[in-house]
A and B are shown apart, each in its own frame.
Chain A
Amino acid sequence: MHEIVNNSPRWPATNANASRLEHLSASVNWTAAILILVLALVPMAASAIGELYYVTLMTRALIFALAAVGLNLVLGYGGLVSFGHSVYLGIGVYTVGIMMDHGITNAWLQLAAALLIGTIVAGVIGALSLRVKGVGFIMITLAFAQLLYFFCVGLRDYGGDDGFSLNGYSDFGLFQLGDNNTLYYAVLAVLAFTLLWVSRLISARFGMVIQGCKSNERRMVALGFPVFRYQWAAYVLSALICVVAGFFIVNLTRYVSPAYMQWTVSGELIVMVVVGGIATIVGPVIGAIAIVLFEEFASHAAFGLPGNADAFIHEHWLGALGVVILIVALCLKQGLYGSLFKRSARRA
């Protein structure tokens, strides 16, 4: 990784690496672009076969894809296993929910507020958690997530453990998120933008430093990089992406509840990132879609198996998911995307 020794102050990377980066970003954008294109066709396909429910299902998948992309920034590229990212989903959900409850439906205001709160919370949690290394980091992020979870459970005015349902939708002025298709395309657009932004970030110096920290932190410190500042920035940025995902999910379900902040949700996000392929741009998207679709079909699809096997699978699909996760953890270390599309320029 001799590119990193070149600590020229210019941003982004210098011309010397331009050709390699050009090649990389071209290949990354291709896959992402094709994926976005295919996803854009989903609402039309769904109405063609008369199953409008799939738009709702895929919206949910894309929202989790967004959150997974966010987590991947700090988990996949940064090598920091955060077990508390569900908190940021919750911040998005609660900020929007509480504002909506008080009559503020302007989506721009809601987003601004959510991102502000998210920055503050992630800034504090990140600063404190990054002091601890290794297993301690995993645990302390978990602890903070639990802390905020129980805090929201204690919010009696907002339903506490039960949460509360929302009456309206976020209003962007030009369009509202009330219509299924509008919401789908809004999420897709944000996802596309985020993928582009993340891929740019990763190819730039910031991304290099982060990945360098993942591969050998001591060396980075020795080279004079302000490791803490980069990791902290990565953490906050990844949190903010999750906050936006939270904004969308509350518009999808129209339900505000602390359940989004449970540690099991953090676990699921990690699963989505790894199953899809860590440290890849589109891996988390693939992973999230795969998991959400698995959940839907394993619990409802008619497999035509003999006897009671169908009902058995429907009831115990979580166990099947567990098996899949175990296999991926043991064998498919690169995740679905990483294994299926072996790229020569594979990061760390």
Chain B
Amino acid sequence: MLTWNVLLMQVLNGLQWGLLLFLLSAGLTLVFGIMNFVNLTHGSLYMMGGYFGAYAYGQTHSFWLACMVAVVGAAIVGVLLDRLVAASLYSRDHLDQVLATFGLILIFNELVRIVWGGNTSVVNPPEMLTGSVEIFGLRYPLYRLMIIVVGLLVSGLLYFIIHRTRIGMLIRAGATNTKMVSALGVNIKRLNLIVFAAGALLAGLAGVLNAPISAIQPGMGEPILILALVVIVTGGIGSIKGAFYGALLIGMADMVGRAFLPIAMTEFFGRAAAQLTGPAIASMGIYLLMAIVLIARPQGLFGGRHA
């Protein structure tokens, strides 16, 4: 049962999930790191991406158009959030930020229910991606392969921006020492806005990309928000590299927990025990991992100093 092509498939599954998580975590880690802002609304931005995409898809039946609308829409919402709410909270303590963004989650969920009802919306993948491709005897959905490709492309793009452009340098500087950057005459407000909007854009992208696979419903942002928080804390707040490796780590861990742990448990403890504890351990595993990393290295795997 555990042949090497199955192993490969599962690794691809873990990779795909991890990359999707990375899209969501990249923006979040920068917002946490540079602005020192606990942003629980990030999950809602992911949700808005999904909803904008679903709406656009419903009107045009074009997946690509839906993606664009989702991404732009989420970025706009991000800008509005930054200007209207977040900007006044950057200087406040974490408690106020937690509270305000928690309130925003409730507001977004209700807004979405008011506008689109509580129904589940549906986005279909584009025609050319509905099939599956044969990899070493097993079929892997083309659409998921596309997500992997997009994820890797975005990672590459982010790496390039962060390490090879001026704005990337500013972002890295801001993540290390915000006050100094501001003191050096950089318009920190504009930098914050750009980072926030970029994060929102990526979250929206994740939302619309995941839409054909999962379901678009109110409250869909919270479960994935928790995971994103785990990713960035494990990887190190403020570090894109940390978010990348953290996301892949969490994605793989989740996959291992679901795919291989039950098999291992069945081998050692028998089927009944595996069925009994397997799902629970799989769910707990990620949090255990984060706790261990934090205890051993409180700043996360790649975290630098942050305020």
Contacts and interface: CB of A to CB of B under 8 A. Distances in A.
A208 B295 CA distance: 28
A273 to B, nearest CB: 9
Interface in B27-59: 32, 36, 38
B110 A274 contact: no
Contacts of B106: 318-319, 321-322, 325
A316 B106 CA distance: 10
Q: Which of A75, A274, A329 has the most CB of B within 10 A?
A: A329
B156 interface: no
Residues of A in contact with B, size category? 35 or more
A151 interface: yes
B291 A316 contact: no
B230 A143 contact: yes
Contacts of A135: 32, 36, 38, 94, 233, 237, 306
B107 interface: yes
B126 interface: no
Contact of A136 (B88, B104, B105, B298): B298
Interface stretch (B63-71, B95-103, B134-142): B95-103
Interface residues of B, number: 48
Interface in A259-273: 263-264, 267, 270-271
Given A135-B237, A139-B233, A154-B284, A322 B99 contact: no
A133 B280 CA distance: 29
Given A328-B99, A329-B99, A136 B287 contact: no
Given A132-B294, A144-B291, A319-B106, A271 B284 contact: no
Contact of A333 (B94, B96, B237, B300): B96
B229 A319 contact: no
Nearest to B97: A329
B215 interface: no
Q: Which of B32, B103, B237 has the most CB of A within 10 A?
A: B103
A329 B100 contact: yes
A90 B275 CA distance: 24
A270 B279 contact: no
Contact of B276 (A140, A156, A263, A270): A156
B291 A138 contact: no
A128 interface: yes
B103 A322 contact: yes
Interface in A222-274: 263-264, 267, 270-271, 274
Contacts of A139: 229-230, 233, 290, 294
Given A135-B94, A318-B109, A319-B109, A143 B287 contact: yes
Contact of B277 (A154, A263, A328): A154
Contacts of A323: 103, 107
B288 interface: yes
B283 A267 contact: no
Interface in B85-143: 85, 88-89, 94-100, 102-107, 109-111, 113-114
Interface in A87-124: none
Nearest to A262: B222
A325 B233 contact: no
Nearest to A76: B95
Contact of B94 (A132, A134, A153, A263): A134
B279 to A, nearest CB: 7
B99 A271 contact: yes
A322 B294 contact: no
Contact of B100 (A75, A134, A321, A326): A326
Contact of A316 (B113, B284, B306): B113
B99 A147 contact: no
Contact of B95 (A81, A154, A156): A81
B226 interface: yes
Contact of B85 (A83, A154, A330): A330
Given A271-B103, A318-B106, 14 more contacts: A131-B295, A134-B306, A134-B307, A136-B233, A143-B230, A146-B226, A267-B98, A318-B109, A319-B106, A319-B110, A319-B114, A322-B103, A325-B100, A326-B100
